Amino acid sequence: MAECTVKSPTNKHYTKIASLMAALSLWIALDKGSMGTMNEATNAPATEASETGLTRAAATVSSQTTTVTGDTMRATKTFTAGTTATITGFHVMSAASGGDDYGWGKFNSPQPLEQNDQLICTANFQYKKGT
């Protein structure tokens, strides 16, 4: 039996992955905890925000173009604080509670929010061949 291994996926492969991801329902969870030890194996927020207006919420998911048409999946959500809180980052999650953590972002410095402040979280996942 002969075996063949794909050595180089095409751009169509990466754009298909991005379009499949963009078709998913995703949620954004805000993190209030220390994110210093998070890495590729992270699968949950350190301390998920539970304040009014800052709880996990459905993201708007779309397909975007970074290098090749349709190669990027974007998840975005605008939160409006109902009370004061300090947010350290956010996570793109697969479910409204629990679920898998598809990716996270840590702010350069903690973001102190007052009531009615807005926080816009945007995650871009570009699918392409590594260098």
pLDDT at site 48: 96
If one counts the domains in the chain, the total is 1
- Asked if the structure places residue 57 within a domain, the reply is yes
Q: What pLDDT band is residue 50 in, cutting at 50, 70 and 90?
A: very high
CA atoms lying within 13 Å on the CB side of residue 116: 0
Q: Does 8 map to a domain?
A: no
- The answer on pLDDT for 20 being more than 80 is yes
Q: Can you give the residue range of the structural domain that contains 81?
A: 26-126
Q: Is the pTM of this model over 0.75?
A: yes
Task: Look at the block and give the residue holding tokens 């392409």.
Answer: 128
Confidence of residue 40 (pLDDT cuts 50, 70, 90): confident
pLDDT band at residue 131 using 50, 70 and 90 as cut-offs? low
pLDDT digits (tens, 9 = 90+) for 67-101: 989 999 999 999 999 999 999 999 999 999 999 99
In a domain, 87, yes or no: yes
- Condensed to tens digits (0 to 9), the pLDDT of residues 112-129 reads 999 999 999 999 999 887
